[in-house]
Amino acid sequence: MALLLGCIGDDHTGSSDLANTLVKNGLRTVQVIGVPSENTPVPDAEAIVIALKSRTTPAAEAMAESVAALKWLKQAGARQFFFKYCSTFDSTDDGNIGPVTEALMAELGADITIACPAFPTTGRTIYNGHLFVFGDLLSDSSMRNHPLTPMTDANLVRVLQRQTKLPVGLVAAADVMQGSARIKAALNAATEEGTRIAIVDAISDDQLYDIGTACAGLELITGGSGIACGLPENFRRAGLVANDASAAAHIPDTPGHEAVIAGSCSSATLAQLAHAERSCPVLRINPVSVMSGADVAAEALAWAEAHLGNTRPIFAASADPDQVATAQQQFGRMEIGEALEHTLAKIAQGLVEKGVRRLVVAGGETSGAVVQALDITTLRIGPEIDPGVPWCETLNDPKLALALKSGNFGAEDFFTKSFEMLTKGRT
């Protein structure tokens, strides 16, 4: 299978979101954590997403890492490149979207690229260059109070122009509404006028597909995961995608014990735990014991012995907001968070040693800690369990089926439904 699309994501969960979108649109996709070393073998995939953590790092660092990722993808044979950032354009005036785009364009010798974070289905629309979040201007949305990247200007042409010396222009709704040929003509006209990065309006998902079609010839595309929806079709039209869309989502085939680890305290995860508790044993991880220095992970793994193989044990630090507030007051927010993440990650390691091969992890930070502890570097993206959460298969040894669920994602029966999908996949 030939590599077609090489992607660079500026954070982990955003990269998974992109990988999931590409699979849903028919490309076999592998996610790689961090810049691979020169001699890392190229995974067999039509799209590779390299997940960086470059959203809020100093610009020079983000540029260097992104260019290193691009060079690796180029060498791996990718034909087109995609720089993925958040659909709310998370960045400061010293931020990284402009500088990284500039560095990638220079490396590719690209005349023009687009910047399109729109994803109408998820409430992100762009009209006359202004980004709206569920109908509110970005600058009126909760993003204006974001702790790291407060967004106080909704005009993306202005925002991006403050980050780059390359001229920023606009392909506006009046052109976008008229379809892919008109969008392409508008991009050509913009190039002639000297625009190097064009913000592109989009107020419906159909328009994302038209923009995707118009971008078939661009070396580099930048945006949110929405704009990636239309790209696989270009490769399919050119006869480069071997399989039909439904074949891309490979179901992990990893027989072995099952378990769930939950570090998220979001309302969706709490409801999922309550639902799963009716049929599975749940071990609650007590923050006070963890902070007292007791070997909570060893105790948890001893408890697991009786359950592994017969049923699906669940290990949960998760607690309701009052309990979390009490623990945070007692021990400090960061201290307790990190200590619990560390304990859960140690439990994950022990579980894999005991033969667990199918693991669901709830919580973004918790997932990061587990992935790191298990030394996972490559994940083949499988079928979607609930919107935004796919099963993945690790390409490292031992092979694991892994579902990394951002806290608020997933329906109430997530902890049972997800495993049933794997069992059905094997019959």
Q: Which residues bind ligand ADP (CB under 6 A)?
A: 263-266, 287, 317-319, 323-324, 327-328, 336-337, 340-341, 363-366, 406-407
Terminal CA-CA length for the chain: 26
CA atoms within 13 A on the CB side of 394: 22
Q: How far is the CB of 392 from ligand ADP (least distance, A)?
A: 17
**What's the count of helices (H) and strands (E) in the chain, helices before strands?**
15, 18
Q: How many CB atoms lie within 10 A of CB 210?
A: 21
Query: What is the nearest approach in angstroms of ligand ADP to the Cβ of residue 269?
Result: 6
- Grouping H, G, I as helix, E, B as strand and the rest as coil, residue 45 is coil
C-beta of 111: minimal distance to ligand ADP in Å? 40
Nearer to ligand ADP among residue 163 and residue 272 (C-beta): 272
Closest approach, Cβ 238 to ligand ADP, in A, equals 39
Instruction: Rank residues 164 and 367 by Cβ distance to ligand ADP and give the closer one.
Output: 367
CB of 264 or CB of 418, closer to ligand ADP: 264
Q: How far is the CB of 402 from ligand ADP (least distance, A)?
A: 15
Beta strands in 77-182 (DSSP E): 80-84, 113-116, 124-127, 130-133, 136-137, 168-171
Q: Which is nearer to ligand ADP, 10 or 341 (CB)?
A: 341
In whole angstroms, how close is the CB of 230 to ligand ADP at the nearest point?
A: 29
CA distance 284 to 274: 12
Name the residue with the smallest CB distance to ligand ADP.
Answer: 407
CA distances, 148 to each of 17, 51, 92, 93 (Å): 21, 19, 8, 12
Of 265 and 371, nearer to ligand ADP (C-beta) is 265
Contacts with 380 (C-beta within 8 Å, 6 or more apart), sequence order: 28, 29, 30, 43, 45, 250, 252, 392, 393, 394, 395
Q: Which is nearer to ligand ADP, 322 or 397 (CB)?
A: 322
In the complex, what is the shortest distance from the CB of residue 348 to ligand ADP, in angstroms, rounded to a whole number? 13
Closest CB to ligand ADP among residues 301, 327? 327
Nearest to 381 by CA among 82, 26, 85, 79: 26
